[in-house]
Amino acid sequence: MSYSDKVVDHYNHPRNVGTLDKSATEVGTGLVGAPECGDVMRLQIKVNPETQVIEDAKFKTFGCGSAIASSSLATEWVKGKTVEEALTISNTDIVKELSLPPVKIHCSVLAEDAIRAAIGDWKKKNNVVETAAATAAH
Amino acid sequence: MSNNGVVVSESNTPVPEGVHLPIYMDNHATTPLDPRVLEAMMPYFTTVFGNAASRNHSYGWEAEKAVEKSREQIAKLIGATAKEIIFTSGATESNNLALKGIAEMYRERGNHIITQATEHKAVLDTCKKLEKQGFRVTYLPVQADGLIDLEDLKRAMDDKTILVSIMYANNEIGVIQPIAEIGKLCHEKGIIFHTDAVQAVGKITVDVQKDNIDVLSLSGHKIYGPKGVGALYVRRRNPRVQISEQINGGGHERGMRSGTLNVPGIVGLGAACEICSKEMEAEAKRERELRDYLRNKLETALDYTKVNGNMDHHLPGNLNMSFIYVEGESLLMGINDVAVSSGSACTSATLEPSYVLKSLGLGDDVAHSSIRFGLGRFNTKAEVDYVADKIIDVVRKLRELSPLYEMVKEGIDLSKIEWAAH
């Protein structure tokens, strides 16, 4: 298994590792995957209630190098975007950016799911109505 | 950071004096050729190049003499006689020849074969093929420590059972089965007993007489010999086992396996066996000490580790350990100047972890976290120290990244979480 330079870079220097306060109103938490599949991703966002801009993001991942890189990249990408903008990030963007091989596409799908789950959690907490983009099947 | 396509991980583990990277610690997969073996082989590529089947000139006689010497060397290592050794291209072929050859030969006596769930694919896939041809195959489960239950074996035997095939020692978890007892049970019932002894021969004492073995597979490249050569021991007396040949051609190897003999490879296999005969006892002790040292070092430094497989019936050079809450492949990525393997199969289409580990009843997550260390003849204590330090460093780093580790540390019971499985 050879990894692209970008995957190796994220693996060696993961961005935004950590934990936000799950109980805070402005924090949304997405926990996706399962230990059985060898991948569990937790992605958290901190959203400015005025602007709906994601001001901070943190992740922790149990999984292979590609899973770690996908979630690390996801935190980088969501930061500074509004919630609605973040929902447009798709797994294919992640695949392209990290040059993931076909057997690792599920890692990118998981990262996309983690973003959506975190946003979904934040919306539920703040009674924000789901938009079509958020519920679109992928 | 890429370096000619080789990823170099960033680590602070200092490289000790005399340690050359990458370190090879995957000796169950294959072993390097012992220089003494290479030396023995060299003349048979060039000056003594005869066909061992040429009966009319000295070139042939010389080659034949070398082949017969090798037969003796192999036989001596496993307590057999030279005439009971058949040369093959390796253990995969030996296993195929044993299972198919016996199934075909004894078809009239019965159509039932017993094996176990943790066998190598060379046995399992061959059994699957035999099932398609109308044979019944029982795959015995193993207990949590990797050993089969002899009661299960007894229960599985019936009057149609012609063959039992149980590996001597497992290639992933190093567990050694109660071979002599299995052989005894088979002989009491008149059932032929085959064992895939690839991982055991040359590492621990294997004696076909004491162990009641009728047919045994072995391989050159697992014992510091060359690749592409192996052997099948076939008992000639009490009972005399017959095998239906699977490759037809000049009737070589007493009609059981046709094909011009790979003389240099065979010489290498013989030389490798002779070295094992002489050095096995001391080397097993050395490897066991190194293995225990490695295990102890890892267990002392890290919490949530689990050793897989019964450690009282175990190959000296094997350690299979799960570093729970860290995924195996990501761990390998962090120690890529060390060659070991993982039970995680994140790269496979199914995402299924090792079937051997799953047979022990390990949860998938624990199986995904396993690393197999295979210590061998050329590993040193300095290498073990380097590998252990590196593993400890990377496991700690990855646990910092692991949501599971964080949850467990907070006292959350992971089994109570409803995972949105993917």
DSSP B160-199: TEEEEE--SB-TTT-BBP-HHHHHHHHHHHT-EEEEE-TT
**A121-135, B50-64, B140-154, B374-388 — which is least confidently predicted?**
A121-135
Mean pLDDT across B71-78? 98
Residues of A in contact with B370 (CB under 8 A): none
Contact assignment for A5 to B1 by CB distance below 8 Å: yes
Preceding amide of B35 cis, omega within 30: no
Q: Is the pLDDT of residue A100 over 70?
A: yes
Q: Is the pLDDT of residue A109 over 80?
A: yes
A73 to chain B, any CB pair closer than 8 A? The answer is no
Contact assignment for B422 to A40 by CB distance below 8 Å: no
Give the minimum alpha-carbon distance from A22 to chain B in angstroms, rounded to a whole number.
13
pLDDT-derived band at B364, boundaries 50, 70, 90: confident
pLDDT at A3: 87
Q: Is the pLDDT of residue B3 over 70?
A: no
Mean pLDDT across B327-337? 92
Smallest CA–CA distance from B398 into chain A, residue = A62
Residues B202 and B74: beta-carbon distance below 8 Å:
no
B364 to chain A, any CB pair closer than 8 A? The answer is yes
Alpha-carbon distances of A5 from A12, B4, B6, B200, rounded to whole Å: 10, 12, 10, 41
Mean pLDDT across B162-177? 97
pLDDT at B420: 66
Phi, psi of A28 (to 5 degrees): -115, 140
The H or E element that residue B7 is part of is: strand B6-7
Residues B171 and B198: beta-carbon distance below 8 Å:
yes
Q: Is the pLDDT of residue B159 over 90?
A: yes
pLDDT at A137: 45
Check: pTM over 0.75? Answer yes or no. Answer: yes
Give me the residue from B351, B414, B417 closest to A38, CB to CB.
Answer: B351
Contact assignment for B404 to A12 by CB distance below 8 Å: no
Q: How far apart are CA B63 and CA B261, in angstroms?
A: 9
Residues of A in contact with B414 (CB under 8 A): 35
pLDDT at B12: 66
**B5-9, B311-315, B319-323 — which is least confidently predicted?**
B5-9
Q: Which residues contact B312 (CB under 8 A, 6 or more apart)?
A: none
**pLDDT tens digits, residue range A10-68?**
999 999 999 999 999 999 999 998 777 789 999 999 999 999 999 999 999 999 999 99
Mean pLDDT across B241-264? 93
Q: Is the pLDDT of residue A134 over 80?
A: no
pLDDT at B377: 98
Query: Is A107 part of the annotated catalytic residue set?
Result: yes
Mean pLDDT across B345-351? 52
The H or E element that residue A8 is part of is: helix A5-12
A5 to chain B, any CB pair closer than 8 A? The answer is yes
pLDDT-derived band at A99, boundaries 50, 70, 90: very high
Q: Is the pLDDT of residue B346 over 70?
A: no
Q: How far apart are CA B217 and CA B94, in angstroms?
A: 5
Give the residue from B314, B374, B73, B282 showing the smallest Cα distance to B175. Answer: B314
Handedness of CA B34, B36, B39, B45 (dihedral sign): negative
A41 to chain B, any CB pair closer than 8 A? The answer is yes
pLDDT-derived band at B79, boundaries 50, 70, 90: very high
Alpha-carbon distances of A35 from A75, B200, B265, B281, rounded to whole Å: 21, 34, 45, 42
Residue showing tokens 């193993």: B142
Residues of B in contact with A41 (CB under 8 A): 403
- Which residues in chain B (315-354) have CB-CB distances under 8 A to chain A? 325-330, 333-334, 344, 346-349, 351, 353
Q: How far apart are CA B48 and CA B35, in angstroms?
A: 19
Q: Is the pLDDT of residue B419 over 80?
A: no
A1 to chain B, any CB pair closer than 8 A? The answer is yes
% of residues, chain B, pLDDT over 90: 86
**A27-41, A75-89, B178-192 — which is least confidently predicted?**
A27-41
| Mean pLDDT over the full length of chain B | 93
Q: From the CA atom positions of chain B, what is the Rg in Å? A: 23
Chain mean position to CA B52 = 30
pLDDT at A43: 97
> Would you call B111 helix, strand, or coil by DSSP?
coil
